[in-house]
Amino acid sequence: MKFSILTLFPEVIEAYVSASIVGRARQKGVVSIEAINFRDFSTDVHRKVDDSPFGGGSGMVLTCQPLESAYESLLPLQQPARVLMTTPTGRRFDHRFALELSEAQHVVLFCGHYEGFDERIKTLIPEMEEVSIGDYVLTGGELPALSIVDAVTRLLPGAVQKFTSVEADSFYDGLLDYPHFTRPAEYKGLKVPEVLLSGNHAAIEQWRKAQALERTRRLRPDLLES
């Protein structure tokens, strides 16, 4: 799978995707990740990529030309492909969305900045989908893009050493994860549940399923409804 991230801050992208699970997946060739500075595609003499909004108001707006030109430099995309714009107005990113993206061969991510994008870019690139990671506003789209890359990469075969650990994660089966414990068996009077020390794997599995269901019911009942 290939990720192409269009950003004003490629150094932010590179720092993250060079480390941990994503970095190792990249080294093994499970995933290819490129950070493209769309400022490099500006035809403005000062490499300007933003301008003041028509109608007045605070802030600046990303202009169409650098974004469109940067995108065109990627064509043709490896198919199947998905083209995403990080924006508060987009579809909420969740595990189901991550699974959809894991089936793609090429994912392009536009990182927003300032007051966002000139609305016409959505017409110029009609295949573009809007995506949001939550109901809050960040300085730029780099963190949302990295969240998407991370969530999707760990779903790819070979990215995580034991895929069973991915299958046990929260949301994979629609529930939150069960509680985890490690050594020592007792710490400051707090003991690990006896069932986890029993060696009875059937009982442990039953306990974990019950804990996952109860935790989901208590903390995220909306997941049970869906």
**Each residue of 55-78: pLDDT tens digit?**
998 899 999 999 999 999 999 999
Query: Do residue 149 and residue 175 come from a single domain?
Result: no
- Is 80 part of any domain? yes
Of 102, 122, 153, which residue is a domain's last? Answer: 153
Query: Do residue 61 and residue 144 come from a single domain?
Result: yes
SS3 at position 5: strand
Query: Do residue 180 and residue 212 come from a single domain?
Result: yes
- Is 163 part of any domain? no
Query: Do residue 120 and residue 27 come from a single domain?
Result: yes
Tokens 């999707």 — which residue?
Answer: 152
How many folded domains does the chain comprise?
Answer: 2
3-state secondary structure 35-74: EEEHHHHCCCCCCCCEECCCCCCCCCEECHHHHHHHHHCC
Query: Does the annotation mark 88 as catalytic?
Result: yes
Crossing angle of helices 142-153 and 10-17, in 10° steps, is 30
What is the pLDDT at residue 165? 65
Element (H, E) at 103: none
Q: Which of 14, 68, 169, 177 is catalytic?
A: 169
Of 98, 119, 153, which residue is a domain's last? Answer: 153
Predicted TM-score (pTM) of this structure: 0.89
Q: Which of 115, 130, 150, 177 is catalytic?
A: 115
What is the pLDDT at residue 161? 75
Query: Do residue 100 and residue 191 come from a single domain?
Result: no
Q: pLDDT digit string (tens) for 12-30?
A: 999 999 999 999 999 999 9
Q: What is the mean pLDDT of each run of 10 residues along the chain (226 residues)?
A: 98 97 97 98 96 92 97 98 95 96 98 93 97 94 98 95 69 89 96 97 96 95 88
What is the pLDDT at residue 174? 86
- Is 160 part of any domain? no
What is the pLDDT at residue 92? 96
CB-based contacts of 15, cutoff 8 Å, min separation 6: none
What is the pLDDT at residue 43? 97
Domain coverage including residue 15 = 2-153
State the CATH number of the domain containing residue 178.
1.10.1270.20
Query: Do residue 126 and residue 204 come from a single domain?
Result: no
